[in-house]
Every structure is written in structure tokens, then in C-alpha cells.
Amino acid sequence: MSDFGFFNTHRTWEDWCGMLLGALIVVSPWFPIQDRPIVGHEVMILNAVAVGLVVFGISQLEYVALQRWQEVTTILIGLWLIASPYVIGYSGDGFVRIYHTSLGAVVVLLGILQLWQDWDLNDQDMLRHGR
């Protein structure tokens, strides 16, 4: 039988993955495979940079001082990244839509995993995270 104990504890590598995801989201409008040039898509670029910086910043905060609001915010910002191609109107741009939907789904899954791991922890245990 497999041991799922590995996924029961919030580990610092998860926070590093969140920081990496944030950085990937920031640079996603400039990924090499694009259907069209990104000229004229300033709102999409601003959205990607803002979302990426929020994901990166929250992951850094989780690395230093873990709190549940950070995980809930991570889930919400991931859901926004999934919805943003349709809300902002760049859903016809092929790969950018796929990038943002995929990266948003990974952010949501990471946030759900972290929230699940920390659900039963008290405030003192959460403060000891990373030490």
C-alpha cells in the first residue's frame, strides 16, 4: 500500500513551486509559441503580470509565515486566471488562453492541497511552518 503521509504536511517546496508558478505567469504573455503578436493586448499583459506577482508574493508570505487566508487567496487568484481569458476577452488567442487556464488550474490545485494540509493546524503550528 502507498503512504499518502507525504501529502499530509505543508512543505516548503510547495511554497517554492508557488513562487515558480508566479514567475511563469508573469512571463506567460511572452512564451515562445504564440498564435499572434501580443501587441494591442495591454490588458492581458497587465493581468498576467499582476496575477503572477500576487501568486509569487503570497507564496513568499507562506514560506515566511503561514496563514489560511493566503491559501484561500491563492485559490481565488487561480480561479481568476482561469476565467480571465473569457472575462477580459482574449480567449481567441490560442496558446495564451491555454497557458493561463493551465497555470491557473495548477495554482488552484496547489492552493487546495495546501489548505487541506493546514486545515486542522492551530495558529501556533502554522507559525512554526518552515522552521
Predicted local confidence at residue 29, as pLDDT: 84
- Quote the CA–CA distance of 20 and 39 in Å, as a whole number: 26
Amino acid at 70: Q
pLDDT number for residue 1: 39
Looking at per-residue confidence, does 78 or 5 come out higher?
78
Name the residue with higher pLDDT: 110 or 35.
110
Distance CA(126)–CA(81), nearest Å, equals 27
Domain edges within the chain: 11-29+39-119
The single residue listed with the C-alpha cell 493546514 is: 118
- Please provide the average confidence, as pLDDT, over all residues in the chain: 81
Contact 90, 96 (CB under 8 A): yes
d(CA 96, CA 34): 7
- What is d(CA 45, CA 115) in angstroms, rounded to the nearest whole number? 29
